[in-house]
Amino acid sequence: MSSRPTTTTSSGSLRSWLIWLTAAFVYVLAVFHRTSLGVAGLDAAERFGVGSAALSAFTVLQVGVYAAMQVPTGLLVDRFGPRRVLLGALTFLGLGQVLLAVAHTYALALIARGVLGLGDALTFVSVLRLAANHFPGRQYMLVTALTGALGFVGNLAATLPLALLLAGPGWTPTFLIAGLVTLAFTVVVTLRVRDTPTSRTTAAPTASATEVLAQLRAALRIPGTRLGFWTHFTTPFGQNAMVLLWGVPFLVDGQGYSATVASSLLVVFVIGAMVGGPVLGGFVGRRPELRMPLVVGYLAATGVTWAVLLGWPGQLPVGVLIPAFAVLSLGGPFSMVGFALARDYNPLPRVGTATGIVNVGGFVATMVVSLLIGVLLEATGGNYRIAFLTMVVVLALGAWRIGVWWLRARAAVFAAEDRGESVPVRLRRHRWDTGHIVAERTSASV
């Protein structure tokens, strides 16, 4: 595990922070578009005349496109640079929302959400690669967490404010203006964003399919990349499923709250993530050796939270929902640990690819959960307790895989130290690491 090459300076300059902020606003727009059905789901069901299973298809399609595009996005970012990919993201996001604004059929609305998913898919990896180019490793976790926190500004705009706009001007004017504003922001990105501190654009030499596959395999062989994938798979899906689609229906149809109260309660997800992201990012940036123990602790807290939500007799009181949603809201900030793992254990020219692999995780989990909840609601006549057991099953699967790859990643770090190589984070050895270290040495020698 040799030291990774870098093009960043010892600390981010004011210019780099402004460039990152411009790119991060693209992510704000992407999150707004992604989460807009969280409060518009019931409006969409009425507008297009569909039920729960068909409604879940909106999220499944968009998230499915997002997940399928993450590895290609990483390869595109490494090949063409983040600035060009961000411009493509804005174009697809704007066109998708304009199409959704004028759609009156379910089929056309599905196409619109698919186009939105494509634009969304191109955004986050591009912003993180831009951050990797402009900031040193010790600042990367903080910048990543701040990016996630800023994204929730878009989430916030897609809760109560969007609900009020839908109740006032209505579906078409609201989404049409959102799409046109997004398209107009391409001008700002063109003028303000630079791929690196020294270059407006970057592009790698054209690679053959064999070389692209070799880069992908190289990233997948790194245990830290696999650990990042499962960390991102396991931590944010509960928050995503609630915010993207099922939060308002659960609170309105399952718990009997009004749409206004339900939309207001979803703000807890936004505030929790916005506050928790920078706090967690700053702490983990200073103490990276504690990041996985913190993730494990968070998963335990999440398990307890779902036990309370699903086991509570009768209607869940607001006094229970707020702290429960606050815990789930930290899934996004904790998922950022996965991207830090991708950056730490891959060379900079491969960070975009590794980041794309990691980013697949959370959205695959979100897609599976969203689909199964819709299917189970149809099958059980709207029983949210049974449908939401999907959350617990996926949480357990992810926690198991995190345990497996955490041990393997630790073994790879210790084996590299024993070979005299530099490692990005020094870890304390425990007796339970011994067997895995031996296996890693044997694997490396073969």
What distance in Å separates the CA atoms of residue 316 and residue 160, rounded to the nearest whole number?
21
Class of domain 14-196+211-445: mainly alpha
- Asked if 55 and 45 count as a contact pair (C-beta separation under 8 A), the reply is yes
- Mean pLDDT is lowest, of 29-38, 215-224, 414-423, for 414-423
Q: Which band of pLDDT confidence, cut at 50, 70 and 90, is reported for residue 120?
A: very high
Q: What is the mean pLDDT of residues 70-96?
A: 91
- Mean pLDDT is lowest, of 107-111, 275-279, 389-393, 396-400, for 275-279
- pLDDT, residue 87, reads 96
What are 196's two structure tokens?
């690196």
Q: What is the mean pLDDT of residues 192-221?
A: 78
**Which residue matches tokens 């697809």?**
92
What residues contact residue 41 under an 8 Å CB cut-off, 6+ apart?
55, 58, 245, 248, 249
pLDDT cut 90: percent of the chain above it: 35
- Residue by residue, DSSP assigns 401-446 as HHHHHHHHHHHHHHHHHHTT---SS-----GGGHHHHHHHHHHHH-
Largest Cα span, the chain: 67
> Residue 201: what residue type?
T
The residue with greater pLDDT, 389 or 446, is 389
- pLDDT, residue 345, reads 87
The residue with greater pLDDT, 265 or 422, is 265
- Residue by residue, DSSP assigns 68-90 as HHHHHHHHHHHHH-HHHHHHHHH
Q: Which band of pLDDT confidence, cut at 50, 70 and 90, is reported for residue 7?
A: very low
State the SS3 of 177-202.
Answer: HHHHHHHHHHHHHHHHCCCECCECCC
Is the model's pLDDT at 442 over the cut of 70?
A: no
Q: What is the mean pLDDT of residues 154-169?
A: 78
Is the model's pLDDT at 13 over the cut of 70?
A: yes
- Mean pLDDT is lowest, of 149-153, 174-178, 359-363, 426-430, for 426-430
Rank 9-23, 75-89, 264-278, 392-406 by mean pLDDT and report only the highest.
Answer: 392-406
What are 323's two structure tokens?
């702290």
Nearest to 31 by CA among 102, 104, 89: 89
What distance in Å separates the CA atoms of residue 153 and residue 163, rounded to the nearest whole number?
15
Mean pLDDT for the chain? 85
- Mean pLDDT is lowest, of 33-37, 70-74, 324-328, 409-413, for 33-37
> Residue 32: what residue type?
F
> Residue 356: what residue type?
G
Q: What is the mean pLDDT of residues 407-426?
A: 81
End-to-end Cα separation, the chain, in angstroms = 16
Burial letters 132-163, b for 16+ CB under 10 A, else e = bbbbebebbbbbbbbbbbbbbbbbbbbbbebb
- pLDDT, residue 14, reads 84
- pLDDT, residue 446, reads 35
